Amino acid sequence: MTRIFNFAAGPSAMPLPVLEQAASEMTDWHGVGYSILEMSHRSKEFMGIYRETVEMLRELYGIPEEYEVMFVQGGGHLQFAMIPLNFAVGGIGNYAVDGVWSRKAFNEAQKIGEAAEVACTELRAPRQDELAVTDGAAYLYYCSNETVNGIRYWYRPEVNVPLIADMSSDFLSQPVDISKYGLIFAGAQKNFGPAGLTVVIARKDLLGRAESTTPTMLDYQTYANFESMYNTPPTFAIYISHLVCKWLLAEGGVKEMERRSILKSQKIYDAIDNSDGFYYNNIEKRSRSRMNVVFNLKNEELNQLFIEEALQKGLANIKGHRIVGGMRASLYNAVSVEAAEALADYMKAFAERHS
Amino acid sequence: MTRIFNFAAGPSAMPLPVLEQAASEMTDWHGVGYSILEMSHRSKEFMGIYRETVEMLRELYGIPEEYEVMFVQGGGHLQFAMIPLNFAVGGIGNYAVDGVWSRKAFNEAQKIGEAAEVACTELRAPRQDELAVTDGAAYLYYCSNETVNGIRYWYRPEVNVPLIADMSSDFLSQPVDISKYGLIFAGAQKNFGPAGLTVVIARKDLLGRAESTTPTMLDYQTYANFESMYNTPPTFAIYISHLVCKWLLAEGGVKEMERRSILKSQKIYDAIDNSDGFYYNNIEKRSRSRMNVVFNLKNEELNQLFIEEALQKGLANIKGHRIVGGMRASLYNAVSVEAAEALADYMKAFAERHS
């Protein structure tokens, strides 16, 4: 086995000890005589895994008792529908748009109910003074980190309506004061676990407002009432997330992840900014993502060679999203400082060879 | 490692070679240097796995070209909503109810639109002559195998509207003439793969009829248009299902699975019927499920002992669903003839000791 440095945007790098443990107990989980994949979601063993995962999440983020922690299927795209169905009943969903993912959420909200775009920025997150909510606003929705565009909010918006955030790509990468939010959600496949699992953390008093015609599985109250087990949850994904939470706690939690994220992203941004224009990134500096560093080569003809030589050096999946092109290095929690250093070194050497 | 016989109703037994392969390539899939869990769903490697899975399903069932094969999240419960949202627009969903799962589907359809119960039976599937659809029927919905109640349809209903079937618990356990159906679906966690994946096979000309306000992820057309990759699918679940399909083809396909299912279930039903009433099963004989054999002990005080001694003999998860009580032996494809024999032998010995 030769493991390489994986900068994929999601599904993305996972901690090696998590994968090794999953492999070692794949045919027999803790001596029960069968796999976690073959275990009833209502067994005491699985319920233990499930509840410990919730508890570890509560510990990692300091989630107050007034908040539900729920596991949902359907990815961010289903959240884009569930949020207006549950929170915009009789009101207007307000959206701050600064990239692909907040744009998608706004479009879906318009499809389903009434929605307004309160800000629309490019190459930066909106400033607080640009976030004036509309009359009848039900909530303000924003995406704390735009995975495709490489943009992050450097601050938490303050508004007098519930604040809703898509934290898919910066989940568990920094401390978050959950008490300031109405709801946050995150697709697992960046910092938490396998694709097919979405974590939702929501203030309990905001739930239960969906119309009676709302599909049962699109009503957050269903998840709150049944510990996310109204139907069979994605058990293997939850099991892996359980291992990831353990790893996170052992590594020092979200404060330590934030320290590493700053360090890792700084290495790549330095390689860009010190390249005399060989590489460039046009994002406003304070809005630069720590999770997804996007950059371009001035000479686009070198793109393919840059990707190929990187792979030869064990640096995989650095091609940018098809919508924006160029390169993207995703630096999620499981991507080591060593990996970021190796990429930065490669960038410098490549620039020297081709300048 | 000691593997035991696992009769769980779902998530349930999987083929050991599938688990062993998953374990062996967990940290490095086919030499790429990272796990399948860490691989982009849009990579050529994963797209290969995805497309091969669809192709193997087409081969196993002989699925005609006019049908889409789609992978959806959200389990059967989300299908209960998606079916009326996509198929009952301007019409009435017709439901044949003979157990817990068809009941749930009918309830959800009533919540969402107009629905009618055309048959309601207990301890047996409805007969063909009981299935008269209503005026304005958009489809007839039935559940081919009721997992909780242990009831199966011994025939395929014939109606002059699209036929829709929940095949979650008998998926890939017998040949099915897909061309007779408008849509079939199956939660993966019985015969196909991990929880968190649902397979939908639908006639293409029936898609695209959902109202424009339908959430994007609840419109089958979204899945058809984007090869089930409008958003990130549950990649690990699809990967496991890929291995399961390979295993099924190597073992002889659905015809061979049907042969084994008849054999396995017959062993348990014989143990029940030849027990002089120590065990009983009240299901009409032709409606008896081959996948989920439910039975009771005449002396209910022995229930706990029966379960405990079974586990000591390596026979796990035979407790019945909490709604119906008693016992249930689920005999999915990955449960061997040897396992069914061991359970039947245990049942005989237990009855002898306690008669």
Give the mean pLDDT of A93-118.
98
Calculate Rg over the CA atoms of chain A: 21
Its sign, for the CA torsion B82, B86, B92, B94, is negative
* Rounded Cα distance, B349 and A190, in Å: 52
Does residue A111 have an active-site annotation? no
The values of phi and psi at residue A153, to 5°, are -80, 125
CA proximity to B215, closest of A109, A217, A138: A109
The values of phi and psi at residue A225, to 5°, are -70, -30
Supply A292's token pair: 């997804």
Residue A128, SS3 per DSSP: helix
Q: Check whether A312 is labelled as a binding-site residue.
A: no
pLDDT of residue A1 exceeding 60, the answer is: no
Distance of alpha carbon B212 from the chain centroid: 31
Question: From residue A63, how far is each of A57, A149, A175, A191, B267 by CA, in Å?
Answer: 8, 29, 11, 18, 52
Give the amino acid at B116. A
Q: What's the pLDDT tens digit per position in A214-254? A: 999 999 999 999 999 999 999 999 999 999 999 999 999 99
Q: Tokens 């002898």 appear where?
A: B352
Q: Check whether B147 is labelled as a binding-site residue.
A: yes
Residue A38 at interface with chain B, using a CB cutoff of 8 Å: yes
Give the amino acid at B288. R
Nearest CA in chain B to A80: B215
* pLDDT-based confidence at residue A322 (cuts at 50, 70, 90): confident
Please judge whether A34 and B75 are an interchain contact, meaning their C-beta atoms are less than 8 angstroms apart.
no
State the smallest CA–CA distance between residue B276 and chain A in angstroms.
Answer: 32
Q: What's the pLDDT tens digit per position in B231-258? A: 999 999 999 999 999 999 999 999 999 9
Is the Cβ–Cβ distance between A239 and A154 less than 8 Å? no
User: Which of B3, B35, B81 has its CB closest to that of A217?
Assistant: B81
All residues of chain B having their beta carbon less than 8 Å from the beta carbon of residue A104 are none
Parse chain A into domains and list their residue ranges: 16-250, 253-354
Supply B55's token pair: 């192709």
Q: Check whether A166 is labelled as a binding-site residue.
A: yes
CA angle centred on A82, ends A190 and A330, rounded to 5°: 15
pLDDT at A309: 98
Is the Cβ–Cβ distance between A100 and A79 less than 8 Å? no
Residue B326 at interface with chain A, using a CB cutoff of 8 Å: no
Q: Check whether B128 is labelled as a binding-site residue.
A: no
By the 10 Å C-beta count (0-12 exposed, 13-18 middle, 19+ buried), B290 is classed as buried
**DSSP label at A38?**
G
Provide the CB-side half-sphere exposure for A228 (13 A, CA).
23
To the nearest whole number, what is the mean pLDDT of chain A? 97
Give the mean pLDDT of A143-155.
98
Q: Check whether B121 is labelled as a binding-site residue.
A: no
Q: Tokens 């959206």 appear where?
A: A95
Stated as kind and residue range, the H or E segment containing A143 is strand A137-143
CATH topology match: B16-250 vs B254-354: no
CA proximity to B273, closest of B252, B288, B262: B288
State the smallest CA–CA distance between residue A109 and chain B in angstroms.
Answer: 9
pLDDT at B123: 97
CA proximity to A343, closest of A8, A15, A10: A8
Give the amino acid at B224. A
Tell me which of B42, B73, B104 to substitute to probe the interface with A (most A C-beta atoms closer than 10 Å).
Answer: B73
Other CB atoms within a 10 A radius of the CB of residue A258 amount to 18
> Which ranges of chain B have pLDDT less than 50?
none
Which residues in B150-168 are b (16+ Cβ under 10 Å) and which e?
bbbbeeebebebbbbbbbb
Give the amino acid at B243. L
Return the number of CB contacts < 8 Å for A and B.
Answer: 221
Residue A185, SS3 per DSSP: strand
Q: Which residues pair with A145 in a beta bridge?
A: A152
Over chain B, what HEC string results?
Answer: CCCCEECCCCCCCCCHHHHHHHHHCCCCCCCCCCCHHHCCCCCHHHHHHHHHHHHHHHHHHCCCCCEEEEEECCHHHHHHHHHHHHHCCCCEEEEEECCHHHHHHHHHHHHHCCEEEEEECCCCCCCHHHCCCCCCEEEEEEECEECCCCEECCCCCCCCCCEEEECCCCCCCCCCCHHHCCEEEEECCCCCCCCCCEEEEEEHHHCCCCCCCCCHHHCHHHHHHCCCCCCCCCHHHHHHHHHHHHHHHHHCHHHHHHHHHHHHHHHHHHHHHCCCCCEECCCCHHHECCCEEEEEECCHHHHHHHHHHHHHCCEECCECCCCCCCEEEECCCCCCHHHHHHHHHHHHHHHHHHC
**DSSP label at A230?**
S
**Which of B:90-129 have CB within 8 Å of A?**
108, 111-112
Question: A253-354 belongs to which homologous superfamily?
Answer: Aspartate Aminotransferase, domain 1 (3.90.1150.10)
Nearest CA in chain B to A332: B38
**Which of B:238-277 have CB within 8 Å of A?**
240
Supply B110's token pair: 């009533």
Please judge whether B216 and A111 are an interchain contact, meaning their C-beta atoms are less than 8 angstroms apart.
yes
Cβ-proximal residues to B121 (8 Å cutoff; 6+ apart), any chain: B97, B98, B130
Give the amino acid at A218. L
Cβ-proximal residues to B208 (8 Å cutoff; 6+ apart), any chain: B220, B221, B224
Query: What percent of chain A shows pLDDT beyond 90?
Result: 98
Supply A28's token pair: 């027999």
Distance of alpha carbon B342 from the chain centroid: 24
User: Which of B4, B35, B232 has its CB closest to that of A34?
Assistant: B4
Which CATH number is correct for A16-250, 1.10.10.10, 3.30.70.20, 3.40.50.2000, 3.40.640.10? 3.40.640.10
Tally the residues of chain A: 355
* Rounded Cα distance, A105 and A102, in Å: 5
Stated as kind and residue range, the H or E segment containing A270 is helix A253-273
Cβ-proximal residues to A210 (8 Å cutoff; 6+ apart), any chain: A85, A86, A89, A218, A219, A220, A221
* pLDDT-based confidence at residue A267 (cuts at 50, 70, 90): very high
pLDDT at B175: 98
* Rounded Cα distance, A110 and A131, in Å: 19
ipTM over 0.95: yes
Cβ-proximal residues to A298 (8 Å cutoff; 6+ apart), any chain: A277, A278, A279, A280
Question: B254-354 belongs to which homologous superfamily?
Answer: Aspartate Aminotransferase, domain 1 (3.90.1150.10)
pLDDT of residue A84 exceeding 70, the answer is: yes
